[in-house]
Amino acid sequence: MTEQKIRVLVAKPGLDGHDRGAKVVARALRDAGMEVIYTGLRQTPEMIVEAAIQEDVDVVGLSILSGAHMTLVPRVVNLLRDNGMDEVLVVVGGIIPDEDVPKLQELGVRGIFGPGTSTQDIVEFIRKEMGAR
Partner 1 sequence: MNLIQDTLKGNRRAIARLISHIEDEVPGAREALAALYPHTGRAYLVGVTGAPGTGKSTLVNELAKAYRRWNSPRTVGVIAVDPTSPFSGGAILGDRIRMRDLAGDAGIFVRSMATRGSLGGLARATADAIKVLDAAGYEMIFVETVGAGQAEVDIAKTAYTTIVVEAPGLGDEIQALKAGIMEIADIFAVNKADREGADHTVTAIQMMLDLNHASHVGGQALRRGSGQALRHGSGQVWRPPVCKTIAVRGEGVPDLVQAIEAHAAFLRESGLLGQRERERVATEFEHLLREQLMRQFVSRIAPEQWDELIERMVRREVDPYTAAEMLLRGQ
CB-nearer residue toward partner 1: 11 or 92: 11
Q: How much is the CA Rg of the chain, to the nearest whole Å?
A: 13
Contact between 132 and partner 1 per CB under 8 A: no
Contact between 131 and partner 1 per CB under 8 A: no
Q: Are strands 7-11 and 35-38 parallel, antiparallel or unpaired?
A: parallel
**Region from 54-62, 67-75, 89-97, 125-133 binding partner 1, contact rule CB under 8 A:** 54-62
**What's the min distance (Å) between Cβ of 100 and partner 1?**
28
CA dihedral 126, 133, 107, 121 (to 10 degrees): -20
Q: Which of 75, 118, 96, 94 is nearest to 10 (CA)?
A: 94
**What's the min distance (Å) between Cβ of 43 and partner 1?**
8
Which residues sit opposite 38 in a β-bridge?
10
DSSP letters for 67-89: S-HHHHHHHHHHHHHHTT-TTSE
Contact between 77 and partner 1 per CB under 8 A: no
What is the spatial distance between Cα 77 and Cα 43, in angstroms, rounded to a whole number? 14
Beta carbons of 38 and 88 less than 8 angstroms apart: no
**What's the min distance (Å) between Cβ of 6 and partner 1?**
9
Of residues 13-52, which lie at the interface with partner 1 (CB under 8 A)? 26-27, 29-40, 43-44, 46-47, 50-51
Contact between 75 and partner 1 per CB under 8 A: no
Contact residues toward partner 1 (CB under 8 A) are: 1-5, 7, 26-27, 29-40, 43-44, 46-47, 50-51, 53-56, 83-85
